[in-house]
Amino acid sequence: MSKDLFLSTFKNFITQYHNVVIVSHVNPDGDAVGSSLAFSYFLQKFGIKTKVMIPNDFPGFLAWMPGIDEVLIYDKNSEKGVQCLNETDLICYLDFNAPSRTGLMHNDLCHCTKTPKLLIDHHRDADFTQFAAYLSEVETSSTSELVAEIIQYHGFDKYLDDNIATCLLVGIMTDTGSFAHSIYHPDTFEICGKLISPTVNYQYIHSKIYNTFSENRMRLLGYCISNRMTVMNEFNTAYIYLTKKDLEDFDYQVGDTEGVVNFPLMIDSIRMAVLITERQGVIRFSFRSKGDFSVHEVARAHFNGGGHLNAAGGTLNCTIEQAIEKFLQVVPQYKSLLTK
């Protein structure tokens, strides 16, 4: 479905649907929450009743965002979540494209076979057959940028307000690492220029996102780099691992490991950086790369995951020791790509 076809189909949807649920992915990040809230505010301008639903809690650095108090966190109130899904006449998937990315919400979403679904996303490997309409652009910084484009098509002068602009800036800023990567065309900067205004201050938003560490979070970051980072020079790769006990020792709060995986990439020779974390019952992998090395491929082929060229994630059901061992077996297979 081309962007033009999506935009005209979506125009019809606005008059057709009155009760819309917007869902995003597990461990929601700034783009998941920002794009969902902005899209929700936008739909409300047409008299549509909306509910934003995320599988589990958002990180503390997003707690100040406009509209965040109204977000339904499925794993805290799954009964209400199921009720919302049953009553809605359109389900919108934002910032993910497969139900498996919604954690415990997965089963209930899959039961909604009769409810039409709309997709707005920038991840790879989408299966479009399940969507009544989709805007899926892999070479766009963020889902928030796509939502901004939709709103711009209807007219920023009519529909943009401070809440929407703030949410969209959070999404674009966090998915591009403050405009350091994942920028494929100048539109990203142009659209952000239009979101900033005398009452929407970029520096204020940036500070709310990045300068709100707890002391524990800062010390955990130091520990990761000095005690838990292994540099595999032969493969231009570095990894950090964190056990459940490490997280407990630093009184881990949701979001405290956000950004940790980016630090090893600051070493000149490093092409791939990985964070391996022991979570409840599963091992989470977070991958980042520089240049054309695809961590999406690595995550997809070996770690039940995926994502983007330079940022991806995955999970394994095993112990942390087994997860590290598997990772150490996988890396040499990519030696030629990592060292070329």
Residue 32 CB, nearest distance to ligand 5GP (Å)?
7
Residues 163-182 touching Mn ion, rule: CB under 5 A, are 175
Show the binding pattern over residues 6-35: x = contacts ligand 5GP (CB under 6 A), - = does not: -------------------x---x------
Residue 141 CB, nearest distance to ligand 5GP (Å)?
11
Site membership for ligand 5GP, residue 306 (CB under 6 A) = yes
Using CB under 6 A, which of 118, 305, 323, 331 touches ligand 5GP?
A: 305
Rounded CA-CA distance 91/95 in Å is 13
Rounded CA-CA distance 143/122 in Å is 6
Picking from 9, 46, 286, 47, the residue whose alpha carbon sits closest to that of residue 155 is 46
Contact yes or no for 303/315 (Cβ under 8 A): yes
In the complex with ligand 5GP, the residue whose CB is nearer, 152 or 304, is: 304
Site membership for ligand 5GP, residue 307 (CB under 6 A) = yes
Show the binding pattern over residues 74-113: x = contacts Mn ion (CB under 5 A), - = does not: ---------------------x------------------
Residue 34 CB, nearest distance to Mn ion (Å)?
9
CB-based burial of residue 18 (10 Å sphere; 0-12 exposed, 13-18 middle, 19+ buried)?
middle
Residue at 71: amino acid letter: V
Q: How many residues belong to the site for Mn ion (CB under 5 A)?
A: 5
Distance of CA 82 to the CA centre of its chain: 23
Residues 6+ apart with CB under 8 A from 239: 229, 230, 232, 264, 273, 274, 275, 276, 324, 327
Rounded CA-CA distance 170/34 in Å is 6
Structure tokens, 236: 């231009």
In the complex with ligand 5GP, the residue whose CB is nearer, 160 or 309, is: 309
Residue 314 interacts with which of ligand 5GP, Mn ion, none, CB < 5 to 8 Å by class: ligand 5GP
Residue at 251: amino acid letter: D
Rounded CA-CA distance 77/74 in Å is 5
Q: How many residues belong to the site for ligand 5GP (CB under 6 A)?
A: 13
Residues 22-81 touching Mn ion, rule: CB under 5 A, are 31
Helix, strand, coil share (%) of the chain residues, nearest 5: 50, 20, 30
Residues 99-118 touching ligand 5GP, rule: CB under 6 A, are 101
Interface residues toward ligand 5GP, by CB under 6 A? 25, 29, 101, 286, 305-308, 311-315
